[in-house]
């Protein structure tokens, strides 16, 4: 049946070869028109001085791998989720646990703070994303107030609120992303384009941001229009799963972390990859990335228990942060840029100060 549309003398193999050669020619023509690499432009920029990034707090309380975390907009509170089935809300200053919520499933793979700071969203192997309102009464049973908002056909890998508490964006192992109305639980828009599990998503940073980026096991990073549901840009240069995607502070670019042991930087206006962050000595996959507030530094967490700090412009590694005793699952900069929180499979979270590079 598949061969009915073929011309005489054609086979699927010859057509495949032809399409590959056309793809190669197209890429060569694009390269002729392309901008130069980022490190070439940055040659005359001053080298960064020594960084002073020290661990100031260690948050202990989870009984298993910490899989995700997020900062509250108040720059003080943190929500974390774990393989132990718990979601904990912490006061990062005092180390107090403000809320501990036990979910019916283990592997709570995603969590996010609402912009108002009055609720958190979380989910994982239950295929759902639930929103839990937070109260000032620390003894209140918050699990009873849990409301299921999103429902996928496979595990939930990521979630984030849009610029209000009323809409929630989710990514899933079912290969889709989706936008939901929190109040009604109604599906507002679904995003189809990945051919395997979607592992990460990030919302564009502008207040009117109507785009987001997603990365998945199909080695692709896709940029989406939230209003139309259309895939407006696609990038495919990684050689393995993309574990994390994160927008540059200006919203004009994004970084990705992959199991191929590299992080890559894509310029949306140039529609291409402009930098690769890698070293021969780094052989373990990168699991998570985030930028400093200025956008000059890229923090990348790896499966070898370290966090590497990269100079975004020059493409060089400027520091290595040690301390965790297992895979780093998440790194997130505080909203004011003065602290970096990392979550790890060693059951802890660490908070480091970033005083000289906000």
Q: Residue 309: how many CB atoms within 10 A of its CB?
A: 21
What are the tokens at 94?
């005092």
CATH code of the domain covering residue 177: 2.130.10.10
pLDDT of residue 313: 94
Give this prediction's pTM. Answer: 0.89
pLDDT of residue 2: 47
pLDDT of residue 94: 94
Q: Are 295 and 249 in contact (CB under 8 A)?
A: yes
Q: How many domains does the chain have?
A: 1
pLDDT of residue 1: 42
Q: Is residue 61 part of a domain?
A: yes
pLDDT of residue 354: 87
Q: Is residue 253 part of a domain?
A: yes
- 61 by DSSP, 3-state: which? coil
Q: Is residue 163 part of a domain?
A: yes
Q: Are 259 and 282 in contact (CB under 8 A)?
A: no
What are the tokens at 106?
């283990």
Q: Are 124 and 142 in contact (CB under 8 A)?
A: no
CA–CA separation, 279 and 273 (whole Å): 17
Q: Is residue 157 part of a domain?
A: yes
Supply the DSSP string of 260-323, one letter for each residue.
TS-EEEEETTTTEEEEEE--TT--SPEEEEEE-TTSSEEEEEETTS-EEEEETTT--EEEEE--
Q: Which of 55, 63, 65 is nearest to 343 (CA)?
A: 65
Q: Is residue 107 part of a domain?
A: yes
pLDDT of residue 9: 64
CA–CA separation, 271 and 277 (whole Å): 18
Q: Is residue 60 part of a domain?
A: yes
Q: Is residue 17 part of a domain?
A: no
- 108 by DSSP, 3-state: which? coil
Which residue ranges in the chain fall short of pLDDT 50? 1-3, 358
Specify burial of residue 195 (Cβ count, 10 A radius: 0-12, 13-18, 19+).
exposed
pLDDT of residue 47: 83
- 236 by DSSP, 3-state: which? coil
CA–CA separation, 311 and 299 (whole Å): 9
Structural domain range at position 169: 55-353
């Amino acid at each position: 049946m598949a061969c009915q549309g073929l011309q005489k003398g054609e086979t699927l193999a010859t057509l495949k070869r032809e399409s590959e050669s056309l793809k190669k020619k197209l890429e060569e023509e694009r390269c002729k028109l392309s901008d130069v690499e980022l490190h070439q432009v940055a040659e005359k920029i001053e080298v960064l001085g020594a960084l002073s990034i020290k661990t100031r707090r260690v948050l202990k309380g989870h009984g298993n791998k910490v899989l995700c975390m997020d900062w509250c907009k108040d720059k003080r509170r943190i929500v974390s989720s774990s393989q132990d089935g718990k979601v904990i809300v912490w006061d990062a200053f005092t180390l107090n646990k403000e809320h501990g919520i036990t979910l019916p499933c283990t592997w709570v793979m995603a969590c996010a703070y609402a912009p108002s700071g009055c609720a958190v969203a979380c989910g994982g192997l239950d295929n759902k994303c639930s929103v839990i309102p937070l109260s000032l009464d620390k003894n209140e049973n918050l699990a009873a107030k849990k409301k299921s908002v999103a429902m996928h056909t496979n595990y939930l890998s990521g979630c984030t609120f849009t610029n209000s508490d009323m809409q929630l964006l989710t990514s899933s192992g079912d290969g889709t992303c989706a936008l939901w109305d929190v109040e009604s639980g109604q599906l507002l828009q679904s995003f189809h384009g990945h051919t395997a599990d979607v592992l990460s998503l990030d919302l564009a940073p502008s207040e009117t941001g109507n785009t987001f980026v997603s990365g998945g096991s199909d080695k692709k990073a896709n940029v989406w229009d939230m209003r139309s549901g259309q895939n407006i840009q696609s990038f495919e240069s990684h050689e393995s799963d993309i574990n994390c995607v994160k927008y540059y502070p200006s919203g004009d670019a994004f970084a990705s972390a992959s199991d191929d042991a590299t992080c890559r930087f894509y310029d949306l206006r140039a529609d291409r990859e402009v930098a690769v962050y890698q070293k021969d000595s780094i052989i373990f996959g990168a699991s998570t990335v985030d930028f400093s507030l200025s956008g000059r530094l890229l923090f990348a967490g790896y499966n070898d228990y370290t966090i590497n700090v990269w100079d975004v412009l020059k493409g060089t590694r400027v520091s290595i942060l040690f301390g965790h005793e297992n895979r780093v699952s998440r790194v997130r900069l505080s909203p004011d840029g003065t602290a970096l929180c990392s979550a790890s499979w060693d059951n802890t979270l660490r908070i480091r100060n970033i005083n000289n590079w906000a």
